[in-house]
Amino acid sequence: MAGIPIGKGTLLAPTPVVMVSCARPGAAANIITLAWAGTVCSDPPMLSISVRPERYSHDIIAETGEFVVNLVSRELLKACDYCGVKSGRDMDKFAACHLTQEAVPVLDHAPAVAQSPLYLACRVNKRLDLGSHTMFLADIIEAYATPRLMDDTGKLDLYRADLVAYSHGEYTALTNPIGFFGFSVASPAVLERRMAILNKGHTKGK
Amino acid sequence: MAGIPIGKGTLLAPTPVVMVSCARPGAAANIITLAWAGTVCSDPPMLSISVRPERYSHDIIAETGEFVVNLVSRELLKACDYCGVKSGRDMDKFAACHLTQEAVPVLDHAPAVAQSPLYLACRVNKRLDLGSHTMFLADIIEAYATPRLMDDTGKLDLYRADLVAYSHGEYTALTNPIGFFGFSVASPAVLERRMAILNKGHTKGK
DSSP SS3 for A92? coil
Q: CB B171 to CB A184 under 8 A?
A: no
User: Chain A residue closest to B38 (CA)?
Assistant: A38
Nearest chain B CA: its distance from A64 CA (Å): 20
Q: What is the pLDDT of residues A148-192, one digit of tens each?
A: 999 889 899 999 999 999 999 999 999 999 999 999 999 999 999
Strands (E) in chain A, as ranges, are: 4-5, 15-16, 18-22, 30-34, 37-41, 46-51, 66-71, 101-102, 112-113, 118-129, 134-145, 164-167, 170-180
Residue pair B158/B177 in contact by the 8 Å Cβ criterion = no
Contact list in B for residue A1 (CB cut-off 8 A) is 102, 114-115, 117, 146-147
Q: Do B171 and A156 touch (CB under 8 A)?
A: no
* Banded model confidence at residue B205, pLDDT cuts 50, 70, 90: very low
| CB A21, CB A76: distance < 8 Å | no
The interface predicted TM-score of the complex, written ipTM, equals 0.95
Asked if the Cβ–Cβ distance from A144 to B174 is below 8 Å, we say: no
What are the backbone angles phi and psi of residue A75, rounded to the nearest 5°? -60, -30
Residues in chain A closer than 8 A to B128 (CB atoms): 126, 137
Q: Residues B72-97: pLDDT tens digits?
A: 999 999 999 999 999 999 999 999 99
To the nearest whole percent, how much of chain B has pLDDT over 90?
A: 90
Closest Cβ–Cβ partner in A69, A158, A178 for B173: A178
In terms of C-beta density within 10 A (0-12 exposed, 13-18 middle, 19 or more buried), how is residue A105 classed? exposed
Report how far residue A169's alpha carbon sits from residue B158's, in angstroms, rounded to the nearest whole number. Answer: 10
